[in-house]
């Protein structure tokens, strides 16, 4: 029976054996078209060459066999019972293969008694352990083979697909095979420079869903075959093309041309407390070029902790504020907003009367007065939190918006602010150094300036990692610094013990009791996210002014708190933080001319945390963080703007992403065909490009 060839955009419901329940399960998983189905690759390949005869299994030492063991056998005995002590459902079976046998055990999965049957041929994989009856495998994953008298698995590689509700992995595999047999891919949109030496799309899909016996097992598992590169190239090229188009559209938008003059330059110099570093000068020159170009600026300013982004932001705001416009600085927390406003006032001197702070927690009369100053243009420098998004805020002549810690603001919030001032210039700052591949993905259509040198006089920070039993060394350092008249930060990961479920953490209250016992004569303030903004501001102010010696905090102090007299920080349960987050925290000390110290206390993940002991280069730390945690968790929260790649991986494929970026720029310069434009529209919907910066 022959079927007409189907385009990739065909609905998956054209395939046989797909009833309403199964179709709904696919749709819920985001699989709507044949393209979605075929790009959803197996999550694992079982290599027949890696199968272990049951009689050859042994436990090396007492620890389990290294890695995952894969076995194949027939179910000879199957029993269900309940454990004596905790009354858990217990499913046990005996697997045999002619060379020996192995006991498989599952806890609290009584439904397995219905899905497994005596005589089933079972492929199982998991780690080995030693039980009462010898070797066993606890809670292994498995696939049932050869139930309907079929010949079963004869090829070297068996692709495995995740179960989706009522849709088993085996049924998914059948759907994929039918889809591969019926799909027709008419045109190839990948430029020759990217497709050279790679299989075409359909061949790549066949190689990955049905790998030939001579495939490289490790490359298959790591997603590093030519077939993977082909599909990843298509995704990344579509993504880069979309970003390049958006950037090209932005470059055509007329922007307010900010005037400059020798008089203005002298005025800006008068605000500077010291000479700019080379990197600050270069970045500010790039910003000036944007502001005077007549096009809308969209620039990302990123730099390491303490590299002086705030000063570059102030100069940019002053450029518009001192020539008749308004500039707004948008920050994630009220603590940070107050801090920025205070430092701006110091730099601006007499011009500080043009500065206005706008916070959500202001009293009604105070807020009315602030809104009136912003609307009249009397406030030329506006510093605020999300309160700047409120409908009541009307700007007089908004020319520049500086966003600090961009990843904490949603796209819709940024759009809301854009609507308030026509089409202002945008300067986005990130205190988390972002590896270039991730910066391209999240902030793809922004021009980039990087501050890669520290201001003169900044001392390197001594970094140490201690096991909990050696924590006294950290407290000894705190004692020494306090004796010298300096101050200390202590960071705790949770506000109360219930925060972290089963993991037993020393919460902030327990840490407060410990600190009061160790340092009974030292003033101590505690700050965390549940405090009212006013209360937090009062407590922080006491530490900033030097009234108290120790500030115990959660990560509310991660960015922006500037206390040059604080020379030591101790982070408890350091394993609870990402590397970039710890690097941010470390940046709160070492802000004066005295050598500073950073101590981490942790009983686990010491190899990962050792990265911070070895380097103070924020970009290297960020790259390591990205490799360990993946792009979705890099910012500490799921980044809404990340494209949803099915095959491409922003860590593994970072060099490919840069090649695709260059290819996209060239393709755009040559002009896109109608077919390419249609293909790109479909890909952009799939990659969720509309949500990106």
The reply to whether 324 and 393 lie within a common domain is yes
Residue 199 or 623, more confident: 199
Q: Which residues contact 269 (CB under 8 A, 6 or more apart)?
A: none
Give percent of the chain above pLDDT 70: 87
- Domain-located, residue 75: yes
Encoded tokens for 239? 């993504």
The reply to whether 438 and 310 lie within a common domain is yes
Give me the pLDDT at residue 628, please: 77
Give percent of the chain above pLDDT 90: 29
Give me the pLDDT at residue 631, please: 63
Eight-state DSSP code of residue 615: -
The reply to whether 444 and 338 lie within a common domain is yes
CATH number of domain containing 280: 3.40.50.300
Angle between helices 618-629 and 606-614 (to 10 degrees): 160
Give me the pLDDT at residue 459, please: 74
Average the pLDDT over 375-393 and give the result: 87
The reply to whether 38 and 57 lie within a common domain is no
d(CA 586, CA 393): 36
Strand ranges inside 262-321, DSSP E: 298-303
Spatial strand order of the sheet with 128-131 comes to 128-131, 134-138, 101-107, 89-96, 69-82, 121-126, 141-145
Write the pLDDT tens digit of every residue in 515-548. Answer: 999 999 999 999 887 888 778 888 888 888 899 9
Give me the pLDDT at residue 119, please: 87
The reply to whether 343 and 291 lie within a common domain is yes
**What does pLDDT average to over the chain?**
83
Residue 461: CB atoms within 10 Å: 21
Give me the pLDDT at residue 350, please: 87
The reply to whether 609 and 473 lie within a common domain is yes
Q: What residues are paired with 45 via a beta bridge? A: 159
Give me the pLDDT at residue 540, please: 85
CA-to-CA dists, residue 93 to 77, 306, 614, angstroms: 5, 60, 49
Average the pLDDT over 159-166 and give the result: 84
Burial 579-592 (b: 16+ CB within 10 A, else e): bbbbbbbbbbbbbb
Average the pLDDT over 94-120 and give the result: 88
Give me the pLDDT at residue 151, please: 45
- Outline where 545-615 has alpha helix (H): 579-586, 606-614
- Domain-located, residue 242: no
The mean-pLDDT minimum among 318-332, 395-409, 510-524, 612-626 falls in 395-409
Residue that is last in its domain, among 597, 615, 633: 615
Do 537 and 441 contact (CB within 8 A), yes or no? no
d(CA 209, CA 38): 8
- Domain-located, residue 18: yes
Write the pLDDT tens digit of every residue in 468-494. Answer: 999 999 999 999 999 999 999 999 887
- Domain-located, residue 594: yes
Give me the pLDDT at residue 154, please: 63
Give me the pLDDT at residue 63, please: 43
pTM, full prediction: 0.69
**Closest by CA position to 413, among listed 191, 192, 641, 195:** 641
The reply to whether 126 and 60 lie within a common domain is yes
Write the pLDDT tens digit of every residue in 209-259. Answer: 999 888 888 888 888 899 999 999 999 998 888 888 888 877 777 888 888
User: Residue 322: is its pLDDT beyond 50?
Assistant: yes
User: Residue 296: is its pLDDT beyond 90?
Assistant: no
Do 279 and 303 contact (CB within 8 A), yes or no? yes
Residue 504: CB atoms within 10 Å: 8
Confidence bin at 640 (pLDDT 50/70/90): very low
The reply to whether 30 and 150 lie within a common domain is no
- Domain-located, residue 274: yes
Spatial strand order of the sheet with 398-404 comes to 355-358, 381-384, 326-330, 398-404, 425-430, 298-303, 447-451
CA-to-CA dists, residue 119 to 134, 306, 489, angstroms: 23, 67, 64
Write the pLDDT tens digit of every residue in 418-467. Answer: 666 578 898 988 777 777 767 776 677 788 888 877 777 677 799 999 99
The reply to whether 596 and 527 lie within a common domain is yes
**Domain residues for 498?**
461-615
CATH number of domain containing 152: 2.40.50.140
- Domain-located, residue 397: yes
Average the pLDDT over 561-568 and give the result: 85
The reply to whether 470 and 582 lie within a common domain is yes
The reply to whether 383 and 513 lie within a common domain is no
Contacts by residues 335-340 (CB-CB < 8 Å, ≥ 24 positions apart): 335/533, 335/536, 335/537, 335/540, 335/556, 335/557, 335/560, 335/561, 336/404, 336/559, 336/560, 336/561, 337/383, 337/384, 337/385, 338/537, 339/560, 339/561, 339/562, 340/310, 340/383, 340/404, 340/560
- Domain-located, residue 31: yes
Residue that is last in its domain, among 615, 644, 664: 615
User: Residue 65: is its pLDDT beyond 60?
Assistant: no
Write the pLDDT tens digit of every residue in 20-52. Answer: 888 888 888 888 889 889 999 998 888 776 788
Report the Cα 332 to chain-centroid distance in Å.
Answer: 18
Do 601 and 574 contact (CB within 8 A), yes or no? yes
79-88, 162-171, 364-373 — most confident range: 364-373
Sign for the CA dihedral angle at 58, 60, 63, 66 comes to: negative
- Outline where 519-586 has alpha helix (H): 533-544, 579-586
The reply to whether 574 and 442 lie within a common domain is no
Average the pLDDT over 306-334 and give the result: 89
Angle between helices 201-209 and 226-251 (to 10 degrees): 130
The mean-pLDDT minimum among 54-63, 656-665, 669-678 falls in 54-63
d(CA 10, CA 32): 9
Structural domains counted in the chain: 4
- Domain-located, residue 670: no
């Amino acid at each position: 029976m022959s079927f007409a060839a189907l385009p990739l955009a065909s609905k998956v419901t054209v395939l046989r054996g797909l009833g309403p329940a199964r179709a709904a399960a696919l749709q819920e998983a985001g699989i709507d078209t044949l393209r979605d189905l075929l790009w959803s690759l197996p999550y694992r390949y079982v290599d027949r060459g890696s199968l272990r005869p049951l009689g050859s299994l042994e436990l090396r030492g007492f620890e389990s066999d290294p890695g995952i063991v894969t076995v194949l056998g027939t179910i000879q005995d199957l029993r269900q019972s309940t454990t004596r002590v905790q009354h858990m459902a217990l499913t046990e079976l005996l697997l045999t293969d002619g060379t020996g046998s192995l006991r498989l055990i599952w806890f609290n999965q009584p439904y397995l008694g219905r899905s497994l049957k005596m005589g089933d041929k079972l492929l199982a994989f998991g780690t080995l352990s030693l039980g009462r009856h010898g070797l066993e495998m606890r809670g292994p994953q498995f696939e049932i083979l050869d139930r309907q008298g079929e010949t079963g698995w004869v090829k070297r590689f068996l692709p495995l697909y995740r179960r989706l509700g009522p849709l088993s992995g085996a049924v998914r595999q059948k759907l994929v095979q039918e889809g591969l047999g019926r799909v027709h891919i008419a045109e190839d949109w990948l430029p020759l420079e990217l497709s050279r030496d790679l299989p075409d799309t359909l061949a790549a899909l066949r190689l990955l869903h049905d790998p030939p016996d001579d495939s490289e097992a490790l490359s298959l598992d790591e997603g590093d075959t030519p077939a993977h590169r082909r599909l990843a190239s298509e995704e990344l090229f579509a993504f880069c093309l979309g970003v390049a188009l958006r950037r090209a559209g932005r470059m055509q938008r007329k922007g307010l041309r900010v005037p400059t003059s020798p008089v203005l330059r002298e005025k800006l110099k008068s605000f500077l407390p010291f000479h700019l570093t080379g990197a600050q000068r270069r970045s500010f020159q790039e910003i000036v070029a944007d502001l005077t170009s007549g096009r809308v600026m969209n620039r990302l300013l990123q730099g390491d902790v303490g590299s002086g982004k705030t000063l570059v932001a102030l100069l940019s705001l002053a450029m518009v504020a001192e020539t008749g416009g308004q500039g707004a600085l948008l920050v994630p927390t009220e603590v940070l907003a107050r801090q920025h406003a205070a430092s701006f006032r110091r730099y601006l001197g007499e011009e500080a009367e043009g500065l206005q702070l706008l916070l959500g927690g202001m009293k009604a009369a105070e807020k009315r007065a602030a809104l009136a100053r912003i609307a009249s243009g009397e406030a030329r420098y506006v510093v605020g939190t999300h309160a700047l998004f409120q409908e009541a805020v009307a700007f007089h002549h908004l020319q520049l918006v500086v966003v600090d810690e961009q990843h904490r603001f949603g796209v819709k919030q940024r759009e809301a602010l854009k609507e308030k001032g026509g089409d202002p210039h945008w300067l986005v700052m990130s205190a988390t150094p972002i590896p270039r591949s991730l910066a391209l993905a999240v902030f793809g259509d922004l021009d980039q300036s990087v501050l890669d040198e520290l201001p003169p006089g900044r001392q390197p920070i001594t970094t140490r990692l201690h096991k909990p039993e050696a924590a006294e060394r950290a407290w000894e350092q705190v004692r020494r610094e306090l004796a010298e008249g300096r101050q200390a930060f202590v960071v705790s990961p949770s506000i109360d013990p219930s925060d972290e479920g089963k993991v037993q953490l020393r919460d902030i209250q327990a840490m407060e009791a410990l600190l009061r016992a160790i340092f009974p004569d030292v003033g101590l303030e505690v700050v965390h996210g549940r405090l009212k903004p006013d209360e937090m501001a009062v407590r922080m102010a006491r530490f900033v002014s030097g009234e108290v010696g120790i500030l115990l905090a959660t990560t509310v102090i991660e960015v922006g708190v500037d206390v040059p007299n604080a020379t030591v920080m101790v982070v408890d349960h350091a394993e609870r933080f990402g590397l970039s987050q710890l690097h941010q925290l470390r940046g709160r000390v070492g802000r004066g001319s005295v050598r500073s110290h950073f101590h981490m206390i942790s009983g686990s993940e010491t190899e990962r945390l050792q990265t911070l002991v070895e380097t103070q280069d924020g970009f290297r730390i960020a790259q390591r963080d990205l490799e360990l945690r993946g792009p979705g968790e890099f910012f500490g929260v799921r980044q809404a703007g990340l494209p949803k790649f099915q095959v491409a991986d922003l860590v593994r494929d970072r060099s490919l992403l840069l090649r695709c970026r260059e290819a996209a720029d060239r393709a755009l310069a040559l002009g896109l065909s109608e077919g390419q434009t249609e293909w790109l529209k479909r890909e952009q919907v799939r990659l969720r490009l509309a949500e990106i910066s």
